[in-house]
Every structure is written in structure tokens, then in C-alpha cells.
Amino acid sequence: MFSRRRLLRLLLILIGLPLLYVAGAIGLAMLTDYQPAPTEAVAWTGGTADTPPDTLRFLTWNLGYGGLGYGADFFYDGGETVRMPRDSVAAYVAGSRSTLAQLEPKPDFLLLQEVDRASRRSYQTDMTEGLTEALPAFGQAFATNYDVTYIPIPLLNPMGGVLSGLLTMSPYRPDTAVRHAFAGNYAWPTGLFFLDRCFLAIRYARSDGDLLVINTHNSAFDDGSLRATQMEQLAGALRQAYAEGMYVIVGGDWNQTPPGFAGVPGLPAPDWAVDGRFQVPAAYPDTGWQWVFDPTVPTNRHLVAAFDPDTTPRNVIDFFLVSPNVEPLSVRGVDLGFRHSDHQPVQMEVALRP
């Protein structure tokens, strides 16, 4: 039988080990915390020196880090899974890569989010390498927005390390590529383990006004205050660019719905999409700018369980914004049945109007 002293010692160990684990994880995160500057130039590799034409094709797609295809659920969204089996991740990564490689006509710009480079959740797959091989004519710039050495949750099956970010690809080599850090984050210590959100801006010099292409991935899992702060910051950058005579095109995962959107007709939708709780402003950043989206094809699904076409709530949170001197010619959501990611691609064609 245990003596009282031994029982007390056992209880202290049972209580102390989890506390030591958490304290160690926080200490490691503080020592290795990714702290980017407000603006940072990022390298552009590949592509040509040609100037983009006046009519341009875009595609935006959150690749779900290669781990959130049709069979996935996710613990942080109410599911149970931390990472999918290795063969599933390999299939999702190969599927998204093949989809992009087979697009015809090819987009002039690919704006991709949740692109992993070295993460436990995707078995250390560098997705940028596969995309470079699949699209050899395209150059690219990568902006880190998730760099955490060790995420300690869930306790019995932790996420571990994550290195991920935004990837913009194009055959056209820009004059500059700059990572812009979004201000604000979760309170300490939660913020140590969450994304450092940003947008990636590439700029092309033109005789009639520069072209600015922005890839964005705004916050999720907050009460809306972080998203509002980020939208205000982005609005300032957009107004300044347009005032300088630029053509401005923004695409990405906004984690908000378009103006007036109340769900895809005939499909189940989350409550916050129906009631407009997280909806971008209509006249943003000013009157004359246009939101460009396809309300008939969902771009995102819930991850409480594997995808079920009859019951899974779906939403539109991936779309574009263009300045008044850019004319949208077409937009189309690409319905892939969420086979390779919890998001679906959106294609847009525009014309620059001097």
C-alpha cells in the first residue's frame, strides 16, 4: 500500500509534469519567437522580365497545407484530427499541384495561402518545391506567416513545428516583392503559438501606372477585432497605392464573407455567414473599388468532420478586390468537391483601364 508521503509525491508528479511541459513549451516559444519587421523585402526567384499585359488572369487558393482534403477534420475547428495519415497528405499535395499544373489557359498570377515548407502536420513537405517543378515557367515569392518551433497542443498528440506562409507565383518577374506584417495578435502566451499574419505585395513598373498585386490571408478564430484592425491597415495601404496612380488587385483568404452574402443557395452554411457577423464592408476601402466573387460556388468548408456534400456547412471567404481603374471581366469558383483542400480555387480575369 502507498504511504501518504508516496501518494503525495505521486500527486505532485502528476500535477507537476503537465505544468513543466507547458512552461517548457512557452519558454521555447519565447526563445524562438518569430518577430518579423513591419515590412520586409522577400526574394523573387524565376520568371521572366516581361511586363504583364493589360488583360490579366488570376487564381487564388488556400491549399490547406496539404493536410485538409475531403477526408479531413481538424481538432481546432471542433474535429479530432491533428494531422492526416502520410498517404492522405501526399495525395492532397499531389492533387493541388496537378490541378494548378493542368489549368488552361494558365493564370498570370497564382495567389496561394497555407503553403507549408517544413511542418510536422504535412510530414516536412516543402510544397514550394513541387509547385516549382509543376510550373517551371513561373517565378515565386514566399512570405512566412507561421513559424513556430513547437506547438504543444493537443497534449497527447501535439502539432509540433510549423513553417508555412503565402506564395505568389507568376511568369512575370516583379520589380519588388514585400512582406507587410499585419498589426495585432492574440494575447500572451497564446500569440506565441499562432500565425503572424501578413500580406505579400508585388509591384511592376509601368509607364501608365504601376501594377500592385497583393496576396492576403486574414485572421480567423478571433472575435472579429483582429480582422477589423487588419482591414483598416490594409485599407490605408490600398488608398495610398491608388492615390499614387497604381492599378491594385488583392486576392486571398479573407476569413470574412463578401458584402451582402448570406450563403450559397441550396447549401448548408455556418451561422456567422448567414447573419453577416464577419462580412467585409461594401465600400472598401473607398467608393469605386469592387469586390469580385462567385456567390454560387463555395470556397471553404467546416472541418468538424470529413466532407459530406449533403451536410457539411460551406461558405465563400476567398475572393478578390480591385481598384477603380481595374475592370473585372469574369470570375468563377472552381468546384473540386473539396478534394484536395478545405478551400476551393477562384479564378478572375480583369482589364487594366488607364
Are 195 and 314 found together in one domain? Answer: yes
Report the DSSP beta bridge partners of residue 181: 198
Are 105 and 8 found together in one domain? Answer: no
Confidence of residue 330 (pLDDT cuts 50, 70, 90): very high
Domain of 143, CATH number, reads: 3.60.10.10
* DSSP letter assigned to residue 50: P
Are 19 and 166 found together in one domain? Answer: no
Asked whether residue 55 carries a pLDDT value surpassing 60, the answer given is: yes
How many domains are there within the chain? 2
Are 25 and 78 found together in one domain? Answer: no
Q: What angle do CA 106, 112, 118 make, to 5 degrees?
A: 125
Are 85 and 14 found together in one domain? Answer: no
* DSSP letter assigned to residue 340: S
| HSE-CB of 275 using CA atoms within 13 angstroms | 4
Query: Rounded to an integer, what distance in angstroms lies between the CA atom of residue 219 and that of residue 197?
Result: 7
Are 12 and 45 found together in one domain? Answer: no
- Give the model's pLDDT for residue 252: 98
Are 142 and 116 found together in one domain? Answer: yes
Are 145 and 163 found together in one domain? Answer: yes
Closest CA to 273 of 229, 308, 313: 313
Provide, rounded to the nearest whole percent, the portion of the chain with pLDDT above 70.
98
Q: State which residues form the domain around 174.
A: 37-352
- Give the model's pLDDT for residue 2: 57
Are 14 and 105 found together in one domain? Answer: no
List own/partner pairs for 267-270 with CB under 8 A and 24 or more apart.
Answer: 267/298, 267/314, 268/311, 268/312, 268/313, 268/314, 269/313, 269/314, 269/315, 270/302, 270/313, 270/315
Are 25 and 55 found together in one domain? Answer: no
Question: What average pLDDT does the segment 97-104 reach?
Answer: 97
Between the alpha carbon of residue 176 and those of residues 8, 13, 102, 201, 212, the distances in Å are: 63, 55, 28, 8, 10
Are 216 and 83 found together in one domain? Answer: yes
Asked whether residue 331 carries a pLDDT value surpassing 70, the answer given is: yes
Query: Rounded to an integer, what distance in angstroms lies between the CA atom of residue 80 and that of residue 306?
Result: 11
Neighbours of 43 (CB within 10 A): 8
Q: What share of the chain is helix, strand, coil (3-state, %, to 5)?
A: 25, 30, 45
**Are residues 178 and 201 in contact, defined by beta-carbon separation less than 8 angstroms?**
yes
Asked whether residue 1 carries a pLDDT value surpassing 60, the answer given is: no
8-12, 136-140, 155-159, 344-348: lowest mean pLDDT where?
Answer: 8-12
Neighbours of 149 (CB within 10 A): 17
Asked whether residue 8 carries a pLDDT value surpassing 80, the answer given is: no
